Amino acid sequence: MEKFTDLGNARRFVARLSDPARKGRRRIVLPVGFVRQNYLTCGPATLTAVSKYWSMPAEHLQVAEEICYDGTSEYSERKWALTHGWAVRSFTVTEEAAEQLIAAGVPFTVSTIDPGNAHLQAVVGCDGRRGSLIIRDSTIRTRGEADCEEFLARYRAFGPRGMALTPLAEARRIEGLALPDADLWDRIYELDHALQNHQRPKAASIVERFRAELPDHFLAFEAARRLAVYDGNPLAELESVERLCEKFPGNAVLDLVRLELMRHLGRRQSRLEALEELHAKPDADTAFLPALAQELAADARTHERAIQLLRRAIGKRPGDSWCYYLLGTVLQDQLRFDEALELHRFAACLSDKREQYSESYFTAAQYSRATDEALEWLRRRFERFGDKSGLPAQTLVWALQSLERPEEALRVVEEAVRRRPTDGALKLFAAQVFASTSGDYLGRARDLLDEAESQCSRPEWLRIWAARQRARRPRRGRTWAAP
């Protein structure tokens, strides 16, 4: 029997047990085994657990190698399933949909998004009498049980998104089910696919279709937000997030995203007032501690309060690299360089795929005369992750350039491009490095720019192309035409 510390939850539980409409509903648990995740590999671990249930081949670390880098996107999860012999349907999770799938013998994944954390779990059962979902979490060996009403309400701003997958031979189990918003989640996948392949006109048409057919649906706002992120348009992104905040008031994740966008737009006073108000609430999420401290850190007069908030935040969120980074930044501003170095090193090691933390660690090391150690760390990081992302190479090149080692920087750039031959963003960066190093490398820069044109977003390519044209110092009155 469950133990309740909240009287309201206990009353709801008793009411469900007494509800005549629930008396005939069953408890079903599917035999989905436990696969323990590594750091930020909840997606691969959960997909592996579901695969083993269906006796489909999948190994946790192999799946992680294919789709995981600093977490796993929903696009990568679904693409992996579609390319490995699965029938897939994404949908908005409801109690009715969960009961249909579990009764059909189909476990499904569910995405949960909390401040500073996103997680993928498998729903492996349900109890219709108790109104609960039975969940297989890749961090806990035993199955968990969540109050369905409370769980769905908590994550309603993001669906929550479920993904049912079966082997193609068992596709009939899910094809005939009326799963909520399934066609809309298909559109979201098409949007992500278009953006991944830099097909912006197609992505824009999907967003326009959402606006025309379902202007007030949360997925219409989410689609517009994703397009704005791709375009690098914080004003448009803020508009979409504010609409989501209106639709789901009090959601801490949306509030934090909204406030971060306000930071980019320079609205400090409004942001500070909003953070003070959110932080003062009795049930305020601990994620607002570092967010408020970040604002206070911008003013030396409030440094001590910022430090107090960050020490509290670290006590409550000891694995949050953002807290260590912010505290290190404040101490660095106070010229406490050795203390700051350790904190920046902690942040960089906790989140070793976040460039901001790696760059800050290197900068702090320069202040403390520990440059060689930090540079070696950046080299090893590039060796480990250079096949999966072009960003570690870019950070290493930035560090080498700051030390005036252009030959080493060029060698790193060439190796990075060789390891990621279809990475258009990396080629744009490489073109900039070659063009800024010497006029002798302008030909190589031009070749990289030409190769990148079909491999990156058009606005990014035009920005680099325009910078190259500007460097030629055209005569007064001359105009350029984009190719």
- Which of the four pLDDT bands, split at 50, 70 and 90, describes residue 10? low
Measured CA to CA, the distance from residue 318 to residue 471 in angstroms comes to 47
| Predicted local confidence at residue 69, as pLDDT | 86
Residue-wise DSSP of 257-273: HHHHHHHHTT-HHHHHH
Q: For residue 323, which amino acid is it?
A: C
Encoded tokens for 264? 């980019």
| Predicted local confidence at residue 8, as pLDDT | 65
Measured CA to CA, the distance from residue 381 to residue 98 in angstroms comes to 42
Residue 6 has pLDDT above 90, yes or no: no
| Predicted local confidence at residue 4, as pLDDT | 47
Contact 107, 32 (CB under 8 A): yes
- The whole-chain average pLDDT of the chain stands at 90
Lowest mean pLDDT among 213-217, 262-266, 365-369, 394-398: 262-266
| Predicted local confidence at residue 325, as pLDDT | 97
| Predicted local confidence at residue 375, as pLDDT | 97
The pLDDT of 453-470, averaged and rounded, is: 80
The pLDDT of 463-475, averaged and rounded, is: 68
| Predicted local confidence at residue 467, as pLDDT | 75
Tens digit of pLDDT for each residue in 271-319? Answer: 898 899 998 888 889 999 999 999 999 999 999 999 999 999 999 999 8
Residue 471 has pLDDT above 70, yes or no: no
Encoded tokens for 252? 């801490």
Per DSSP bridges, beta strands 27-29 and 86-92 are unpaired
Residue 395 has pLDDT above 60, yes or no: yes
| Predicted local confidence at residue 482, as pLDDT | 52
| Predicted local confidence at residue 2, as pLDDT | 47
Tell me which H or E stretch contains 345.
helix 337-350
Encoded tokens for 39? 């750091």
Contact 174, 97 (CB under 8 A): no
The pLDDT of 136-159, averaged and rounded, is: 93
Residue where the block lists tokens 């993904």: 163
Across the strands, what pairs with 117? 114
Contact 89, 162 (CB under 8 A): no
- Which of the four pLDDT bands, split at 50, 70 and 90, describes residue 129? confident
**Percentage with pLDDT > 90 across the chain:** 70
438 or 390: which carries more pLDDT confidence?
Answer: 390
Phi, psi angles (nearest 5°) of residue 100 = -60, -50
Residue 324 has pLDDT above 70, yes or no: yes
- Which of the four pLDDT bands, split at 50, 70 and 90, describes residue 267? confident
Contact 113, 105 (CB under 8 A): no
The pLDDT of 28-55, averaged and rounded, is: 92
Which residues, 6 or more positions from 426, have their beta carbon under 8 angstroms from its beta carbon?
390, 393, 394, 416, 417, 420
Residue 119 has pLDDT above 60, yes or no: yes
Tens digit of pLDDT for each residue in 156-196? Answer: 999 999 999 999 999 999 998 999 999 999 999 999 999 99
The pLDDT of 341-364, averaged and rounded, is: 96
Tens digit of pLDDT for each residue in 399-428? Answer: 999 999 999 999 999 999 999 999 999 999
Q: SS3 letters for 413-448? A: HHHHHHHCCCCHHHHHHHHHHHHHHCHHHHHHHHHH
Across the strands, what pairs with 109? 122, 163
Start-to-end Cα distance in the chain: 69
Measured CA to CA, the distance from residue 39 to residue 61 in angstroms comes to 11
Measured CA to CA, the distance from residue 186 to residue 47 in angstroms comes to 19
| Predicted local confidence at residue 479, as pLDDT | 46
Measured CA to CA, the distance from residue 223 to residue 295 in angstroms comes to 30
Measured CA to CA, the distance from residue 261 to residue 228 in angstroms comes to 12
- Which of the four pLDDT bands, split at 50, 70 and 90, describes residue 483? low
Across the strands, what pairs with 145? 134
Which residues, 6 or more positions from 417, have their beta carbon under 8 angstroms from its beta carbon?
423, 426, 427, 430, 448
Encoded tokens for 357? 């933390």
| Predicted local confidence at residue 419, as pLDDT | 96
Residue 386 has pLDDT above 50, yes or no: yes
Burial 39-74 (b: 16+ CB within 10 A, else e): ebbbbbbbbbbbbbbbebebebeebbeebbbebbbb
- Whole-model pTM: value is 0.86
| Predicted local confidence at residue 58, as pLDDT | 85
- For the chain, counts of helices (H) and of strands (E): 24, 7
The pLDDT of 334-347, averaged and rounded, is: 96
The pLDDT of 439-458, averaged and rounded, is: 86
Q: Which of 90, 131, 84 is CA-nearest to residue 110?
A: 90
Residue 477 has pLDDT above 80, yes or no: no
CA distances from 392 to 32, 395, 398, 463 (A): 37, 5, 10, 22
| Predicted local confidence at residue 179, as pLDDT | 96
